[in-house]
Structure 1
């Protein structure tokens, strides 16, 4: 029995043990274990909730409800009929994240609803609520079962809204179904109201999660997690300090969700943080995701991967293909494999243009199958796939392989996975899903299950933002759903310093991020050009810092061997972990700067990034391990010009590619001073002496 379906049997047992009749009650409450957060759910005047922190309102009365087929609405006339409660105080081990030991403590309230509909109305589905409170957030989800005499229900829309007591500053993306967006600062009332022709920054508007709100007491982040066999959600404004949650429509036009049997909606998660540092270091969303479906994870091996010639935009073997059309061939792929081997990296990625009749990037997962499909069994003449696999094996490097979602769908998921397993690939990068509909979610879950059976790790691109699958399917090592370094080579580049320092506080909170850092042709914003070989904005030390700050168990480094070989800073990538035992945030301000340290074994990796202004920090290393008196530091820092004052210099280094590498000993009783250029960075490897 699946975890999601077995929940209903467990809930029934709990109800038999602790059922509380509350037909006359109009409000019930669930409180966080530390007693600071209080989520109140009421049926007075329609189903709604509000949230309090230490007795002060964080959220005002916010509607709840679902709209089903045949004009059946559950919410406006719903009554709280029965409630049960349970609590949990435990922990679990995370082997593929930013912290190994995860504390999992919560209180939970289950609400059975009775819906008062006119006598002439059809029987509605059975709907309930589950509300859960942690010390760092609360979450609500719907339980839905088909009406009596039926095996399915049709959900057309969701009524959930989130109302704030004031018009706070916030950050929300809004340009793409595949979450490749920036997160500009705005206010709640300025978020566009969704309509057929709504546009934001010149593009069709879809409010891409998460929504980060700076409240009077800190921060509140809105996201969804534990999405399974349901439609993904996006957000839109109301013209007031409130947002409404909207479900993606099915591609078959039959509403948003067609549910067969009892179902759970995703969690509507509200993460609460006193500070930006608390926001980044929280395990709240990870705890809400369903536990792993894979028992034996020994075959799942995180690590660094070389990419191929596409990102840099040129391949001397194929000079006729440049920029977006650049591609690898047998010679260039061997070059990348050899470099990966020399650096001790376990992987190299063979990206698109490797097989015959590859589907174009204008076609997505759910395009009609009658349209032409690529042949995943036949590589193009310029690539000898079996020779590459043999060469990689000799070099003790394993290959990842790219495939278009449309071509996998045409060939068949199970056949595709069996084929790539038989050839000996380590994992598969699947691209151009470009949908958050229920059908797309179902397809992705089927693909992840099949890949697990065939011991293939997975990287999904052209996809919506993370929804908890990294915990549920630990072989799903990373994903896109981010405007990453590939945009540095696209016309109208938006991968600037402001975007990259905002990401850790928005998209980065949700889960692994295949940003593909590591560009070594570094330029200031004024010098930057979209050209080939590809350039990046900001200093080289900043690109190093991204590899630690932007969590990704599969870390794909973007640049080419010729741009890496013998370059200052390249040694930082040798022996760099991609999963961590512990994370400590030292300094943080949303959209301004982030300094954190991550531990692997007995060593720490320290990383700092800032925005468009230079900055300096005094770091207290005793926060990492108070037992260590002296640290050995291997540093990679910006070449910051000296400043006559105590303030950080606003000047850029003589070249953003310049990096200062030093090794020294530092007493932890003394604050460690670090200085960052505008769009700068800093990294260090720390070992106890």
Structure 2
């Protein structure tokens, strides 16, 4: 339940500006970030951003191109400004921290055209100590009612050639490895590989998807993204490598329509996170703070949890999704074995993929007779019996809906599919959207699909079902408003290690993801594979990490639902499995202890409801020593630290599954020295000594 835990302080200064006033300034509460808004010589809305003594964003224009109407980008005057300050604290239903401070200064600028139409446009800035967001507001007005946006031209004019971590601005999928280049070297079209993914992909120009993260020559870290993406198109950023500039490029459809709305409406927030350290980007709460408060009265039906599942079998070839395959893994007997294992090890969720009819040719859109049915199980899968068996063991079933991106079909079944879950008291579902969108001409990240994902969230709220979306729209902090949106994919995940032809995910992949994709929100990555060699199932593939690295991911990568994905026989009687049993999934406090993007990261999190701390530390392909200062621990308290570490001989290629476990007593003055193998890591539990 949402509640304020401190007083909101708001000071409003409302005044009318003379026509000669063409600029105004707003600063962060600590005065370190300053935004200057002004009208150019052509009376174009423009802004700059400064951090300490550095210009972060140079003069950048703002505006829109509209269908069947004049562009909305110049000939403006400022008719009014309004400033306010807000300082509040709100409780996260689940999350990285129990409480979030929302402290910002706000500037609202009301613009009106000097032309005969006198169309109006408002721009709102919120400036925090950790960055800023701004959005456009289209007021209700006589000369602008039905709005069709063909381009939003929000500029981000950089001041130098930053080091940049980026993926192509694909309109359908985010499942790429991150590139590390100078900004001037970004070439999205070079890294776009048609047919490399199950999902249809489309990259129309040299653009990047967000969050896109950068480091300046002076050591300032920046990340560009958006917040509160609602009834609008997702934003990519078109790259001008010569002028070092990015411009918002909305995802459209085959009719070249980006957004279709009626006034009044607001756009999503365009966000810039700013920090002196890479960890500051992760600890920033800018994205969730720019979303509206929680609208869900009761989330008691969902508890953050770990879950097992019938999933990895299909990726390594020991089972099939479809009933006609050699071995249909989604069967009653195997599901009950999974439930028994979960119950024995205090794991409270179990996912089954391939349970419902339609998997035989689910990727073949030409066969219009083949469709998924979201209420009819295959003959060897007794849905009701399995659900009841799970309840008797304290293990909740997680439903699975693979739509094959046939949105028309799925929406006709939403009512019945979610009614079935409500009837069986199934309170979470993993949705999937692999392939080309139906109806034809729409893309995963366009306004049509943004509204579909929202429709599914609202159906989940109506029926008490939490949503874990795969092949989703990007995370933009809507989990604050709709905590039913528990997690999502939107990243190149663990499954690529099992079947991709390019060698899988390199060790550095997950030293970049926390500073890029994870800034948007929780990731359902599926860590925890113990059989990292994938033998004897996949002789040409392997996971490019050590076992200790896999354990550490439960702390490094945040999600309130964490899968325990390997075959259960690889966990049985395995000493390292104890860490997975112990590690939390819902947190009171999270801290980045040390990091450098693309090299290594060390994260500590304190479990909500206990005094237990957990640390995860991973490195790229390079061995390194990382020192962990435990000064965050409670003073005058002794903790028992259990360390799951690489050995001297560990190596992500040659010897990935060797590890060692050790124990020692520590306190807030202890500094641990961790030796990480190439592709390695370390997972630590810190339990107060009785």
Among residues 275, 278, 293, which one is paired with 2:277 in the alignment? 275
Query: What is residue 208 of structure 2 aligned with on the other side?
Result: 207
Question: What's the TM-score once normalised by structure 2's chain length?
Answer: 0.88
Contact persistence 1:228–1:442 (CA under 8 A): yes
Q: How does 1:535-554 map to 2 (within 5 A)?
A: 535-554=542-561
1:608 Cα shift? Answer: 0.4
Partner SS state of residue 73, structure 1:
coil
Contact persistence 2:17–2:78 (CA under 8 A): no
Contact persistence 1:250–1:257 (CA under 8 A): no
Counterpart-to-counterpart distance in 1, 2:352 and 2:447: 30
1:504 aligned onto 2:504? no
Contact persistence 2:351–2:399 (CA under 8 A): yes
Among residues 169, 173, 184, which one is paired with 2:179 in the alignment? 184
Partner SS state of residue 356, structure 1:
coil
Query: What is residue 7 of structure 2 aligned with on the other side?
Result: none
Contact persistence 2:504–2:544 (CA under 8 A): no
Say which structure is richer in helix. Answer: 1
Query: What is residue 383 of structure 1 aligned with on the other side?
Result: 381
Contact persistence 1:22–1:83 (CA under 8 A): no
1:160 aligned onto 2:154? yes
Query: What is residue 516 of structure 1 aligned with on the other side?
Result: 526
Deviations 1:8-32 (A, max 9, x none): xxxxx999x7233242112111100
Deviations 1:559-608 (A, max 9, x none): 11112111231111114211100012211111111111100121100110
1:578 aligned onto 2:591? no
Among residues 70, 81, 85, which one is paired with 1:83 in the alignment? 81
Query: What is residue 622 of structure 1 aligned with on the other side?
Result: 631
1:484 Cα shift? Answer: 0.8
CA distance change for structure 1 residues 657 and 257 in 2, over 3 Å: closer, same or farther?
Answer: same
Contact persistence 1:47–1:75 (CA under 8 A): yes
Counterpart-to-counterpart distance in 2, 1:103 and 1:21: 32
1:323 Cα shift? Answer: 11
Query: What is residue 686 of structure 1 aligned with on the other side?
Result: 686
Q: How does 1:628-639 map to 2 (within 5 A)?
A: 628-639=636-647
CA distance change for structure 1 residues 611 and 387 in 2, over 3 Å: closer, same or farther?
Answer: same
Deviations 1:31-85 (A, max 9, x none): 0000110011111232211101123211111111111122421223333221111
1:669 aligned onto 2:669? yes
Greater Cα shift, 401-410 or 559-568 = 401-410
Q: How does 1:263-662 map to 2 (within 5 A)?
A: 263-311=265-313, 313=315, 327-351=329-353, 353-358=354-359, 362=363, 372-405=370-403, 406=406, 409-432=410-433, 435-492=444-501, 493-523=503-533, 531=538, 535-600=542-607, 601-625=610-634, 627-641=635-649, 655-662=655-662
1:659 Cα shift? Answer: 1.7
Contact persistence 2:321–2:330 (CA under 8 A): no
1:327 Cα shift? Answer: 4.0
CA distance change for structure 1 residues 54 and 149 in 2, over 3 Å: closer, same or farther?
Answer: closer
Counterpart-to-counterpart distance in 2, 1:333 and 1:483: 27
CA distance change for structure 1 residues 23 and 378 in 2, over 3 Å: closer, same or farther?
Answer: same
Contact persistence 1:542–1:609 (CA under 8 A): yes
Counterpart-to-counterpart distance in 2, 1:63 and 1:666: 54
Counterpart-to-counterpart distance in 1, 2:269 and 2:651: 46
Counterpart-to-counterpart distance in 2, 1:474 and 1:683: 28
CA distance change for structure 1 residues 147 and 426 in 2, over 3 Å: closer, same or farther?
Answer: same
CA distance change for structure 1 residues 62 and 319 in 2, over 3 Å: closer, same or farther?
Answer: closer
Contact persistence 2:651–2:679 (CA under 8 A): no
Counterpart-to-counterpart distance in 2, 1:14 and 1:144: 24
Query: What is residue 8 of structure 1 aligned with on the other side?
Result: none
1:343 Cα shift? Answer: 1.1
For structure 1, the 5+ residue unaligned runs are 1-12, 642-649
Contact persistence 1:312–1:558 (CA under 8 A): no
Query: What is residue 250 of structure 2 aligned with on the other side?
Result: 247
Counterpart-to-counterpart distance in 1, 2:78 and 2:592: 42
Counterpart-to-counterpart distance in 2, 1:468 and 1:461: 16
1:311 Cα shift? Answer: 4.6
Contact persistence 2:647–2:659 (CA under 8 A): yes
Query: What is residue 34 of structure 2 aligned with on the other side?
Result: 38
For structure 2, the 5+ residue unaligned runs are 1-9, 195-201, 435-442
Query: What is residue 5 of structure 2 aligned with on the other side?
Result: none
1:309 Cα shift? Answer: 4.1
1:109 Cα shift? Answer: 0.5
Aligned length: 651
Greater Cα shift, 412-421 or 456-465 = 412-421
1:179 Cα shift? Answer: 1.2
Among residues 138, 147, 168, which one is paired with 1:144 in the alignment? 138
Counterpart-to-counterpart distance in 1, 2:417 and 2:56: 48
Partner SS state of residue 380, structure 1:
coil
CA distance change for structure 1 residues 585 and 320 in 2, over 3 Å: closer, same or farther?
Answer: closer
1:535 Cα shift? Answer: 4.0
CA distance change for structure 1 residues 66 and 494 in 2, over 3 Å: closer, same or farther?
Answer: farther
